[in-house]
């Protein structure tokens, strides 16, 4: 997503295309397989997919890249991206574990997760447009 795009190399419209189309594009395999699992009533596959994918991204994707070349992590990665990731991860855990009886992620909780995602993406687009304009 945003972290890797070189702002100076693209115009604003390119960046917004990059952030929206390409970001959604890289999530398409997860999205399509999750909706397919939902249609087959394989609910455990949906959550398993998200948990497994996130473990793999945090440990495997970052780990392998870091072994190839040490990563210089700017302040924003920790103060912005990691914080949003941690909030969403914690929210998912609280929603899914189900403190009384079996867990269930309901529509309101799903809407809240989606709201955080849209706000984060909107903020990214906003800051990049600001930086490019200024």
Give me the half-sphere count of Cα atoms (radius 13 Å) on the Cβ side of residue 2.
17
Instruction: Report the residue from 7, 8, 12, 82 that binds other proteins according to the rule CB under 8 A.
Output: 82
Please report whether residue 134 would count as binding other proteins according to CB under 8 A.
no
Tokens 């941690």 locate to 86
Q: How many Å apart are CA 104 and CA 71, to the nearest integer?
A: 38
Which lies closer to other proteins via its Cβ, residue 9 or residue 133? Answer: 9
Which lies closer to other proteins via its Cβ, residue 50 or residue 125? Answer: 50
Q: How many Å apart are CA 122 and CA 45, to the nearest integer?
A: 29
* Residue closest to 85 by CA, chosen among 120, 115, 124: 120
Instruction: Report the residue from 8, 70, 130, 133 that binds other proteins according to the rule CB under 8 A.
Output: 70
Please report whether residue 71 would count as binding other proteins according to CB under 8 A.
yes
Please report whether residue 129 would count as binding other proteins according to CB under 8 A.
no
3 state SS of 99: coil
* Residue closest to 105 by CA, chosen among 47, 34, 18, 36: 47
Which lies closer to other proteins via its Cβ, residue 72 or residue 133? Answer: 72
Give me the half-sphere count of Cα atoms (radius 13 Å) on the Cβ side of residue 29.
3
Please report whether residue 116 would count as binding other proteins according to CB under 8 A.
yes
Which lies closer to other proteins via its Cβ, residue 94 or residue 134? Answer: 94
Shortest approach of other proteins to residue 125 CB, angstroms?
13
Which residues, 3 to 62, sit near other proteins by CB under 8 A? Answer: 3-5, 9-10, 13-14, 17-18, 21-38, 40, 42-62
């Amino acid at each position: 997503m945003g972290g890797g795009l070189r702002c100076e190399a693209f115009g604003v419209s390119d960046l917004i295309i990059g952030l929206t189309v390409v970001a959604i594009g890289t999530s398409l395999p997860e999205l399509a397989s999750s909706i397919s699992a939902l249609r087959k009533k394989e609910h455990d596959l949906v959550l398993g997919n998200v948990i497994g994918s996130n473990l793999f991204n945090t440990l495997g994707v970052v780990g392998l890249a870091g072994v190839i070349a040490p990563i210089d992590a700017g302040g924003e990665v920790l103060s912005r991206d990691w914080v949003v990731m941690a909030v969403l991860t914690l929210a998912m855990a609280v929603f899914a574990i189900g403190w009384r009886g079996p867990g269930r992620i309901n529509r309101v909780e799903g809407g809240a997760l989606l709201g955080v995602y849209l706000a984060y993406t909107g903020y990214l687009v906003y800051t990049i447009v600001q930086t490019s304009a200024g």
